[in-house]
Chain A
Amino acid sequence: MKNNSTTKKVIIAIVGLAAILLPVFSSDPYILHIAIAILIWSMLALGIRIVLVSGHLNIAQASFMGFGAYASGALAMKLGWSFWICLPLAGVIAAILAIIVGLPTLRIKGAYFVIITLGLSEVSRRIWMMWDSLFGGPQGLLGIPPPDAIKLGGLAIMFNSKVHYFYLAFVLFVITVFVMWRFEKSRTGLLLKSFPKADMLAESSGVYIMKYKVAAFALGAFFAGLAGSFWAHYFTYCSPWDFTLMASFYMLMYVVMGGTGSIAGPIVGSAVMLTLDELLRPFKEYMPMILGVILILVLRFMPGGIISIPGLIRDAVMRKE
């Protein structure tokens, strides 16, 4: 038990250190871009997972990302607000939307909730398409300003290279992982996990289920909003086509591929799948098909996801001995 947790700590330390030092080894913008994508999509996947833990499947995560992106982009462009104000606001706006959507709908179980989030992702796309004056219609928002320079005494950090964005994404990612970890480790995590099993029993013990479900949903949306804001200012552009249902499906796939059992799952899932996506770029047209086959194979042969591989190998070796 003790040994296991030290191993875990060592792995986390090594991976973390490697990530921090990545720009030292490679300043290739292509590599850095993929690394940034992995960090940001992990945040989104983690948000899906925390809702999944409470027994609900949210396939509108890309919409919350989109609301964060649009809110942040519109505030920066129309009102000229600084990115550093827009970023947290984008998270808060996405979380408030999640609370508004979640309060009436998180009572609904199973497929019906999935259908509602499916509806949400279509409705949100329509809103961005139709509301020309604020969201720029089908072309989206063009020319979103990059983050302002951070001035530390005489030192100014300008956001003029991928390295800076990488470190910003890394900080956001670490905050997400830390909060998710604490959230799940606290009593709230235990309660969330209890709901899919016997929510009536939890309720009759005096637990107000909705409070926890809505909190988990809002937390996932908050980090989706942050991710969206980052994405918009990083590309200086966002459009309705970036936050589609398909994008949500990809996030969900990263969660399932990596494994839903722990926080590491969605991170590993995002890292492996996004890397694979790049390696298989020559076969871009066939990508959905290839991913589909991989997904089915993973679900069939290792329902615990990619992170269950070490355990499976250990079991296989033990059996042989």
Chain B
Amino acid sequence: MTKYFGGLAAVNDVSLSVSEGEIVGIIGPNGAGKTTVFNLVSSVYKLTHGTVKFNNEDITNLKPHRVAAKGLVRTFQANVLFKDFTVLENILVGCQLQVETSMFMDLFNFRTVRAQREKIHAVADNIMEFVGLKNYRDELAQNLAHGHQRMLGIGIAMASHPQLIMLDEPVSGMNNEEKSEMMTLIRKIRDRGITVLLVEHDMRVVMGLCDRVAVLNFGTKIAEGVPEEIQNNASVIEAYLGADD
């Protein structure tokens, strides 16, 4: 896939495939185009060239909410949350793909509407338990600690029951304890059969977590392989540390 912003190729001819049940990391120096890749896959930006396929279905340039409906969701880099909603309300917004009644029906207190509300709340409870925020159910998102806010971001994404989840820098700004909690959570997500694609700067986390790693630099993919290969790849070392004269 390729993306031009004006004349600048932010992502140039990068191709990447992720198989079911994998944890794949994308790394690279700042400005390498990692987040742009996410934005292209989730259709926040439109592709200049190329295609995005998911389960053998072409989802290139589909509207973002349609991409999510296909089972492909993402989190955002900063703590993008509904800050003055409670934790529960945040998760409920994430649950919307499981809602079956129409907006019009919701105006009335039909049995189906009530049954659905119970079902959705059960899903939300389950998610809060999963990301470890059950005790913060009625706390406003903005009052949570940084680490918990990131967990909530993942909770919102998980609430739509995705097949593939894209995590944008899940451990940024975290202390070591929070980092290992997050790593445990990401493994738990994979154990639920959900494929994980993540962008991360923290090498310890990437190397410890990922089955495969792709390295971007200046919008092109310079390497891909299992973590050990990447750690010893000359061009990767060059991209990070500069060329050895």
Contacts and interface: CB of A to CB of B under 8 A. Distances in A.
Is B one of A's binding partners?
yes
| Most interface-central of A202, A204, A215 (chain B CB within 10 A) | A204
A193 B83 CA distance: 11
A48 to B, nearest CB: 20
Contacts of B81: 198, 201
Given A191-B93, A205-B97, A182 B108 contact: yes
B84 A197 contact: yes
Given A204-B68, A205-B73, A207-B65, A187 B82 contact: no
A207 B83 CA distance: 18
Contacts of A179: 107
Interface in B38-54: 42, 44
Interface residues of A, number: 25
A186 interface: yes
B21 interface: no
Contact of B82 (A197, A203, A212): A197
A209 B84 contact: no
B93 A182 contact: no
B107 A205 contact: no
B107 A200 contact: no
A185 to B, nearest CB: 9
B74 interface: yes
Interface string A152-191: 0000000000000000000000000001001100111011
Given A183-B107, A201-B156, A205-B157, A191 B96 contact: yes
A207 B103 CA distance: 12
Interface in A192-219: 193-194, 197-198, 200-209, 211-212, 215
Contact of B160 (A191, A197, A198, A206): A206
Nearest to A205: B94
| Most interface-central of A179, A183, A198 (chain B CB within 10 A) | A198
A212 B64 CA distance: 15
B45 to A, nearest CB: 12
B117 to A, nearest CB: 8
B96 A206 contact: yes
Given A182-B107, A203-B64, A205-B159, A198 B80 contact: yes
A202 B73 CA distance: 11
Contacts of B97: 205-206
A129 B7 CA distance: 50
Contacts of A194: 82, 85, 93
B84 A207 contact: no
B209 interface: no
| Most interface-central of A186, A190, A206, A207 (chain B CB within 10 A) | A206
Nearest to B108: A182
B99 A201 contact: no
B222 interface: no
A204 B93 contact: no
B44 A212 contact: no
Given A186-B107, A206-B160, A207-B65, A200 B44 contact: yes
Contacts of B99: 187
B106 A201 contact: no
A198 to B, nearest CB: 5
18 contacts: A179-B107, A187-B96, A187-B99, A187-B120, A190-B85, A190-B89, A190-B92, A191-B96, A193-B82, A197-B83, A197-B85, A200-B64, A201-B156, A204-B64, A205-B159, A206-B73, A207-B96, A208-B65
Interface of A: 179, 182-183, 186-188, 190-191, 193-194, 197-198, 200-209, 211-212, 215
4 nearest A-B residue pairs (beta carbon): A206-B68, A186-B106, A206-B97, A182-B107
Given A182-B106, A188-B106, A205-B94, 17 more contacts: A182-B107, A182-B108, A183-B107, A186-B103, A186-B107, A187-B96, A187-B106, A190-B85, A191-B96, A197-B82, A198-B80, A203-B65, A204-B64, A204-B157, A205-B73, A207-B96, A209-B65
